């Protein structure tokens, strides 16, 4: 049989009826890696390597979805400029072509920003893990979420007060989740986190920078609770943000475990 | 100064007032590794290596928590027999000693069950990643959650129908989340998942077992949607379960990405 | 003190003498993430996100290296076109600027190739984890290494022979390490692996493709030992390759563990 | 057909001749998880969860190995007391039952030691990732390797000298690889690493401990190069050690990348 005719004889198993009476909340694909473009405040757009998860809802009566369609649609968006609002276009197309009443997409990538050393002015890119989540619900409502992980440093205030010689400090990470109906730059969330921590991380630091950064960090000691609260205060003031969660984790230098604090707007 | 007297002069920074007006939803520790015991249906209890995350809520007025107390309390539970209900004791003690109105604990571990090859009867242990989550909320309510990951195999029904020579099959994982107010054995959730998949995985399979297992799997082809629905049907029938989510992922043998399906009871 | 003058007063601790009599084989930086370009057979060059590890040797007499110099040098190579030979330029500059007699660099990235479905001709990119390692040794010799991970599928020959209804098949990965003094395209190593496995993976497969791919795979059953041997035979024939290692791993669909085979040219 | 007779009719595909003329260096299984016992200096033996990788060599003439035998043999060693020498028994049995001239085994696990806070004397277990590797080569020689990862802290000497207010410090990890023909306690290697670093990590630290630990660490600033050299000096003095490698990595608190140093005895 000629392969090009084969499909006419092929059974479409996914299209069959299902009689178990259970709708499926999400059915789709995960771990699709693809270079795409995302909106960049300074350079308009930036090429990133995305890990994509996409799904639709499946009604009670249907047996399955045609998984290859997700990729056929996604492949058309390779030169698109993604941000928390524009991802909606891809989502809508998935919903329509997969004939569903709801659809979800998660796009994870490392986003790069140029960091400038505070004294020497040496430049180098630093990567921030980001995720854009977009959903259309059954009732027609849309939700747009942004998640950004910002590595920072912290100096322990307790440690600083009880000793004259030093204080333990360490790398940590601030994870910001925001739900929004408006456009937000990734750069804005990164700036909020970096302002709220004891210290900002830089790729290149010459000795004059290191002195500056370390002294600044020691003059701004913060518990993980403090950092979480300062990020939360800044997020609360932003009218574009509907809901947020901030989670701060410090990789304690005197322990092999972490401390963390989480604040949610709800 | 003699070290034992030092604490009388030490400032208690965490105890200070905070005036930012923000309560913290969770503040605590993560990545505490510790051998503990969990309830085992066959052998009463089983030693596992737990990764523990524990937290309390922090009211608006307080600056910080005393993180070392989490570990002091946890250390007393090393010979305790944990299960989805008994973890509550540890949680209560954390809530009280850290003087909070709410507390959370997550205990993750690999749990072992002896698997017997279906024909040769050869035995070997197989590990299942599990998590017990317990929370006390501000209103006094308690929530108990169990999460179990069950690796299984799947044969694609579409692939089987369109070809006479074979069908793609692959390893996958079923993740079951249940919220319950009653005691549930981990073994019960594992059994539900293994019954619902195309095939069960075994550590030792002699050739006579392999023939049996492969033929059984090919006689039970299932889409990821089918497996999710069959797990969901079984979970729905269990009166002890308040809410559940089931997520099935197949590591497709013909693709480098996965397909997944998720059903929730809500 | 004015910050710009600070460096004149700053002690250069790294430059001090060390009297422990021990040279250091590698000292440097790791987990530097950076977008760079690598040679692409079809499109000349391809932007990738690299994870870079770079180091030099340190002689007995020296206390330490100036770590910031690694990044200052790397930052100049952002628009460079990397391949297994051209990475040598960066390596040489590191060796010279860090005043060492040897230097090493490892550049890891996901490299994308367009895969075309065998019947429908649908196109989509697929990512292959790659690594380029380059070293200059004390005696002046250079070594250039390429590592590529190629995900493939396998059908078990034993399973196929003992059952008429089907055979277990699964995703697996072939890792090829080659040492070479000549230029090699990443595409060449990927092609060798894909020819040697039971089946090739594709991002998009319509039903007519799926039938074709599954039947082709079932007509080419291979143990992990077979795949390793066929890759090794092909690598042996290539005169540009000085040494190689091939490691094949199958994520068995009937087990929760893997099987693997490794062949080295030495 | 009765299943118990099935094997008499089953073809033994693995046993067939291979004519590609290539021996296989390692062929076996990986990611076998199993609770086993390892030698514990204080408590004689300790139950751990092992991840086991086992392999044999395969001669030119043979097509494949019978993978299930690895697990049948390993299952007999569940109550055995493993250490770098005793693992040899399991290895010998694998070599014999799989009819090979060489065999390899790698056993990875988290090993726990009770850490006592330096002032308050509070106790809690801390986990150290360990690996035991044992090999028998074609010429009859045996190699025994131990690998231990010890998390520690470091204070940067340069940072301390150029600023009066503080110095950056961070968590890091020291990885020790030793090849030995004699028995060595894991505790001995852990002690060597902890003595060589700026600071030791503890699970529980009360404020009086924190003051002590932080001051001790700041009085012992060390570059990653220093720590590597001090570990190497201690390993060199131990006559039981044939070869060693030490690799120290600091998760820099002022950067998002790491610095590392590696010394080998060869």
- Mapped onto helix, strand or coil, the DSSP state of residue C99 is coil
Q: What is the pLDDT of residue D11?
A: 78
Model pLDDT for residues A95-132, shown as the tens digit of each residue: 999 999 999 999 999 999 999 999 999 999 999 999 99
Strand partners, C170: C154
For chain A, the chains sharing at least 3 beta-carbon pairs closer than 8 angstroms are B, C, D
Q: How far apart are CA A151 and CA A131, in angstroms?
A: 15
Q: How far apart are CA C120 and CA A10, in angstroms?
A: 14
Q: Hey, is the C-beta of A262 within 8 angstroms of any chain B C-beta?
A: yes
Which of C15, C26, C62, C137 would you mutate first to test chain D, the one with the most D CBs within 10 A?
Answer: C26
Q: Hey, is the C-beta of C75 within 8 angstroms of any chain A C-beta?
A: yes
Q: Hey, is the C-beta of B152 within 8 angstroms of any chain C C-beta?
A: no
> Within a 10 A sphere around the Cβ of A135, how many other Cβ atoms?
18
User: Which residues in chain B are contacts of D78 at CB distance < 8 A?
Assistant: 125
- Which residues, in sequence order, are CB contacts of B19 under 8 Å at separation 6+? none
Q: Hey, is the C-beta of C3 within 8 angstroms of any chain A C-beta?
A: yes
Q: Tell me the pLDDT band of D138, cut-offs 50, 70 and 90.
A: confident
User: Which residues in chain C are contacts of D3 at CB distance < 8 A?
Assistant: none
User: Which residues in chain C are contacts of D29 at CB distance < 8 A?
Assistant: 257-260
Q: Exposure of B90 by Cβ count < 10 A (0-12 exposed, 13-18 middle, 19+ buried)?
A: buried
Q: How far apart are CA D108 and CA D105, in angstroms?
A: 10
Q: Tell me the pLDDT band of A16, cut-offs 50, 70 and 90.
A: confident
Q: How far apart are CA B148 and CA B176, in angstroms?
A: 5
Q: Which of A125-129, B12-16, C151-155, D17-21 has the lowest mean pLDDT?
A: B12-16
User: Which residues in chain D are contacts of C27 at CB distance < 8 A?
Assistant: 224-225, 228, 259-262
Q: Is the ipTM of this complex over 0.90?
A: yes
The token pair at B17 is 């007032």
Whether A127 and D153 lie within 8 Å, measured CB to CB? no
Question: Is the separation of the CB atoms in D217 and A169 below 8 Å?
Answer: no
Question: Is the separation of the CB atoms in A14 and B240 below 8 Å?
Answer: no
Question: Is the separation of the CB atoms in A166 and D163 below 8 Å?
Answer: no
Q: Hey, is the C-beta of D110 within 8 angstroms of any chain A C-beta?
A: no
> Within a 10 A sphere around the Cβ of B110, how many other Cβ atoms?
18
What's the Cα-to-Cα distance from D81 to each of B226, D33, D75, rounded to whole Å? 45, 17, 14
> What residue of C is the nearest CA neighbor of A12?
C207
Q: pTM for the complete prediction? A: 0.95
Longest Cα separation, chain D: 84
Whether D125 and B49 lie within 8 Å, measured CB to CB? no
Whether C68 and A110 lie within 8 Å, measured CB to CB? no
Opening angle at CA D159, ends D157 and D163, nearest 5: 120
What's the Cα-to-Cα distance from D85 to each of D132, D143, D235, rounded to whole Å? 9, 10, 19
Whether A110 and C49 lie within 8 Å, measured CB to CB? yes
Q: Tell me the pLDDT band of D9, cut-offs 50, 70 and 90.
A: low
Model pLDDT for residues C38-76, shown as the tens digit of each residue: 999 999 999 999 999 999 999 999 999 999 999 999 999
Q: Hey, is the C-beta of A202 within 8 angstroms of any chain D C-beta?
A: yes
Tokens 């950076």: give the residue.
Answer: C34
- Mapped onto helix, strand or coil, the DSSP state of residue C133 is strand
Q: Hey, is the C-beta of D13 within 8 angstroms of any chain A C-beta?
A: no
> What distance in Å separates residue D186's CA from the closest CA in chain C?
24
Please compute the mean of the pLDDT values over residues D153-182 and round it to a whole number: 94
Radius of gyration of chain C (CA): 23
Instruction: Return mean pLDDT, chain C.
Output: 94
Which of D112, D114, D166 would you mutate first to test chain A, the one with the most A CBs within 10 A?
Answer: D166
Q: How far apart are CA B107 and CA B35, in angstroms?
A: 11
The token pair at C132 is 């380029």
What's the Cα-to-Cα distance from A53 to each of A71, A107, B172, C44, rounded to whole Å? 10, 7, 17, 30
Whether A206 and C119 lie within 8 Å, measured CB to CB? no
For chain B, the chains sharing at least 3 beta-carbon pairs closer than 8 angstroms are A, C, D
Q: Is the pLDDT confidence value at C185 over 50?
A: yes
Instruction: Return the higher-pLDDT residue of D188 and A1.
Output: D188
Whether B48 and D49 lie within 8 Å, measured CB to CB? yes
Give the one of C23, C161, C263 whose C-beta lies nearest to D24's C-beta. Answer: C263
The token pair at B174 is 């079923």
Question: Is the separation of the CB atoms in A160 and A218 below 8 Å?
Answer: yes
Which of D9, D32, D158, D247 would you mutate first to test chain C, the one with the most C CBs within 10 A?
Answer: D158
> What distance in Å separates residue A155's CA from the closest CA in chain D?
9
Q: How far apart are CA C133 and CA C141, in angstroms?
A: 14
Q: Hey, is the C-beta of D210 within 8 angstroms of any chain A C-beta?
A: yes
Model pLDDT for residues B166-213, shown as the tens digit of each residue: 999 999 999 999 999 899 999 999 999 999 999 999 999 999 999 999
Whether B204 and D68 lie within 8 Å, measured CB to CB? yes
Q: What is the pLDDT of residue A6?
A: 47
Q: How far apart are CA B112 and CA B40, in angstroms?
A: 9
Q: Hey, is the C-beta of D74 within 8 angstroms of any chain A C-beta?
A: no
Model pLDDT for residues C212-261, shown as the tens digit of each residue: 999 999 999 999 999 999 999 999 999 999 999 999 999 999 999 999 99
Q: What is the pLDDT of residue B12?
A: 83
Q: Positive or negative, the Cα torsion across C1, C5, C7, C10?
A: negative
Strand partners, D136: D103, D142
- Mapped onto helix, strand or coil, the DSSP state of residue B3 is helix
Q: How far apart are CA C10 and CA C21, in angstroms?
A: 26
What's the Cα-to-Cα distance from A120 to each of A27, A212, C6, C21, C163, rounded to whole Å? 51, 10, 11, 34, 70
Q: What is the pLDDT of residue B172?
A: 97
Q: Hey, is the C-beta of C30 within 8 angstroms of any chain D C-beta?
A: yes
Whether C166 and B167 lie within 8 Å, measured CB to CB? yes
Q: Is the pLDDT confidence value at A36 over 80?
A: yes
Please compute the mean of the pLDDT values over residues C148-152 and round it to a whole number: 98
Whether D29 and C257 lie within 8 Å, measured CB to CB? yes
Give the one of B126, B165, B170 whose C-beta lies nearest to C253's C-beta. Answer: B170
Model pLDDT for residues C113-145, shown as the tens digit of each residue: 999 999 999 999 999 999 999 999 877 789 999
- Which residues, in sequence order, are CB contacts of C237 under 8 Å at separation 6+? none
Whether C208 and A75 lie within 8 Å, measured CB to CB? no
What's the Cα-to-Cα distance from D133 to each of B152, D56, D158, D178, D241, rounded to whole Å? 30, 13, 38, 10, 15
What share of chain D has pLDDT > 90, as a percent? 87
Model pLDDT for residues A144-182, shown as the tens digit of each residue: 999 999 999 999 999 999 988 999 999 999 999 999 989
Q: Is the pLDDT confidence value at C108 over 80?
A: yes
Q: Hey, is the C-beta of C161 within 8 angstroms of any chain B C-beta?
A: no
Q: What is the pLDDT of residue C1?
A: 33
User: Which residues in chain C are contacts of D22 at CB distance < 8 A?
Assistant: 229, 232-233, 263
> Within a 10 A sphere around the Cβ of A108, how many other Cβ atoms?
17
Q: How far apart are CA B33 and CA B25, in angstroms?
A: 23
Q: How far apart are CA A215 and CA D257, in angstroms?
A: 20
Q: Hey, is the C-beta of A151 within 8 angstroms of any chain D C-beta?
A: yes
Instruction: Return mean pLDDT, chain D.
Output: 94
Q: Hey, is the C-beta of B217 within 8 angstroms of any chain C C-beta?
A: yes
Question: Is the separation of the CB atoms in B188 and A28 below 8 Å?
Answer: no
> What residue of C is the nearest CA neighbor of B126?
C256
> What distance in Å separates residue C83's CA from the closest CA in chain B?
25
Q: Is the pLDDT confidence value at B9 over 90?
A: no
| Residue-wise DSSP of chain D | --HHHHHHHS--GGGSB--S---EEEEEEEEEEEEEEEEETTTEEEEEEEEEEEEEEE-TTB----THHHHHHHGGGTT-EE-TTTHHHHHHHHHHHTT-S-EEEEEEEEEEEEEE-TTT--EEEEEEEEEEEEEE-TTS-EEEEEEEEEEEEEE-HHHHHH-SS---EEEEEEEEEEEESS---HHHHHHHHHHHSSEE--S---HHHHHHHHHHHHTS---HHHHHHHHHHHHHH-TTEEEEEEEEEE--SSSSSEEEEEEE--
Opening angle at CA A131, ends A130 and A135, nearest 5: 160
> What distance in Å separates residue C203's CA from the closest CA in chain B?
6
3-state secondary structure B163-204: CCCCCCEEEEEEEEEEEECCCCCHHHHHHHHHHHCCEECCCC
Model pLDDT for residues D56-111, shown as the tens digit of each residue: 999 999 999 999 999 999 999 999 999 999 998 999 999 999 999 999 999 999 99
Q: What is the pLDDT of residue C80?
A: 96
Percent helix, percent strand, percent coil in chain A, to nearest 5: 30, 40, 30
Q: Which of B150-154, C73-77, C139-143, D166-170 has the lowest mean pLDDT?
A: C139-143
Whether C48 and A49 lie within 8 Å, measured CB to CB? yes
Which of D68, D70, D110 would you mutate first to test chain B, the one with the most B CBs within 10 A?
Answer: D68
Whether A263 and B24 lie within 8 Å, measured CB to CB? yes
Give the one of C4, C49, C68 whose C-beta lies nearest to A49's C-beta. Answer: C49
Whether D233 and C20 lie within 8 Å, measured CB to CB? yes
> What distance in Å separates residue C264's CA from the closest CA in chain B?
26
Q: Tell me the pLDDT band of D6, cut-offs 50, 70 and 90.
A: very low
Half-sphere exposure of B100 (CA within 13 A, CB side): 33
């Amino acid at each position: 049989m000629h392969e090009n005719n084969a499909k006419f004889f092929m059974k479409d198993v996914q299209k069959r009826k299902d009689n178990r009476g259970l709708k499926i909340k999400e059915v789709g694909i995960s771990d699709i890696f693809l270079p795409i473009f995302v909106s960049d405040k300074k350079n308009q757009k930036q090429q990133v390597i995305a890990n994509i998860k996409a799904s639709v809802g499946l009604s009670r009566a249907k047996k399955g979805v045609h998984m290859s369609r997700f990729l056929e649609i996604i492949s058309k968006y390779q030169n698109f400029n993604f941000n928390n609002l524009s991802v909606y276009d891809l989502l809508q197309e998935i919903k329509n072509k997969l004939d569903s009443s709801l659809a979800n997409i998660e796009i994870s990538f490392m986003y790069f920003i140029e960091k400038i050393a505070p004294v020497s002015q040496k430049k180098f890119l630093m990567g921030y893990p980001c995720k854009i989540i977009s959903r259309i619900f059954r009732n027609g409502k849309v939700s747009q979420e942004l998640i950004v992980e910002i590595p920072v440093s912290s100096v322990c205030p307790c440690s600083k007060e009880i000793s004259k010689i030093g204080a333990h400090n360490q790398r940590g990470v601030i994870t910001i989740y925001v739900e929004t109906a408006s456009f937000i730059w990734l750069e804005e969330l990164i700036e909020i986190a970096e302002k709220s921590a004891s210290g900002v991380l830089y790729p290149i630091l010459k000795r004059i920078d290191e002195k500056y950064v370390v002294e600044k960090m020691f003059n701004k000691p913060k518990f993980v609770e403090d950092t979480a609260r300062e990020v939360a205060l800044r997020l609360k003031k932003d009218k574009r943000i509907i809901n947020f969660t901030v989670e701060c984790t410090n990789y304690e230098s005197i322990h092999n475990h972490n401390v963390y604090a989480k604040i949610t707007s709800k």
